[in-house]
Structure 1
Amino acid sequence: MTTRDVVFPEGRQALYERNRYSPAIKSNGFLFVSGQVGSLEDGSPEPNLEAQVRRAFENLNAILASAGATFNDVIDVTVFMVNPESIFETVWKIVPEYWGEAPHPTLTGVGVTWLYGFQFEIKVIAKLPDAADSRVVV
């Protein structure tokens, strides 16, 4: 069995242990981050949509930082939205606050009917900086 190199952000270990999953796993120079939602410290949903999206990004950034990475190292993003036709515009006006400058990562958006009480979730794969490609891309 492969040993998992788990990354835990500070202060949220109990939440992950209770729900029985790892926030992120390092493997072969990549960081695979579990879907992050806008949860409060106790794991409950942030009730305001805009605050929930910001908190999801902040939770994601805390995991990336724990691995020595930033959102600039993200190469692939999957977002899940409940009722995307009604929340997309609200969500997408917040994304540039965290997304950074082009070139942007790849993106897959998925509309879902249920996210355990949340309206938005973001899952990413990042290339770890110490494993970064040394080539110069023009």
Structure 2
Amino acid sequence: MTQRNVVFPPGRQALYERYRYSPAVRSNGFLFVSGQVGSTEDGSPLEDLDAQVRLAFTNLNAILAAAGASFDDVVDVTVFIVDPESHFERIWENVVPQFWGSAPFPNVTCIGVTWLAGFRFEIKVIAKLPEGHGE
């Protein structure tokens, strides 16, 4: 196997090293981003759900920017929500439009889960890297 081409956003490398995973990996012109949550630099969750979602997108955008991409380059989104029946509409109406951009939108899969290690929202994406920013 070839060595992974890992992308680290500024300020969070210690967190990824502590939990032994890469925030994102470039491969064949794509960027595969690990699930991002609303965690502070020490890894702790924000209490407020809207603040968690905003910070998850902020963390995601920092990774995309470190790879030379933006949310406009995202082609695939997977969202995990604890208790989506209670929270999905609130998240999708109040917070997501601030980060999502305009149509055409990426494809989305939303999965309801019972546990996210103290978090209530997680987002992972695959982005097509702009020319010159691929592997």
TM-score range, shorter chain: over 0.9
Q: Counterparts of 2:104 and 2:132 in 1: how far apart (Å)?
A: 19
Matched, 1:42 2:42: yes
Aligned to 2:60: 60
Matches within 5 A, 1:18-97: 18-93=18-93, 94-97=95-98
Aligned to 1:105: 106
Given that 1:29 and 1:131 are in contact with CA atoms closer than 8 Å, whether structure 2 keeps it comes out as: no
Q: Counterparts of 2:131 and 2:52 in 1: how far apart (Å)?
A: 31
Return the TM-score normalized by structure 2. Answer: 0.95
- CA-atom RMSD in angstroms: 1.1
Number of aligned residue pairs: give it: 132
CA 1:26/1:44 → structure 2, altered by over 3 Å: closer, same or farther?
Answer: same
Return the TM-score normalized by structure 1. Answer: 0.93
Q: Deviations over 1:3-26 (max 9, x none)?
A: 100000001000000000000000
- Unaligned regions of 5+ residues in structure 2, if any? none
Aligned to 2:115: 114
Moved segments of 4+, more than 4 Å:
none
Aligned to 2:127: 126
- Unaligned regions of 5+ residues in structure 1, if any? 133-138
SS of 1:52's partner is helix
Q: Counterparts of 2:28 and 2:63 in 1: how far apart (Å)?
A: 18
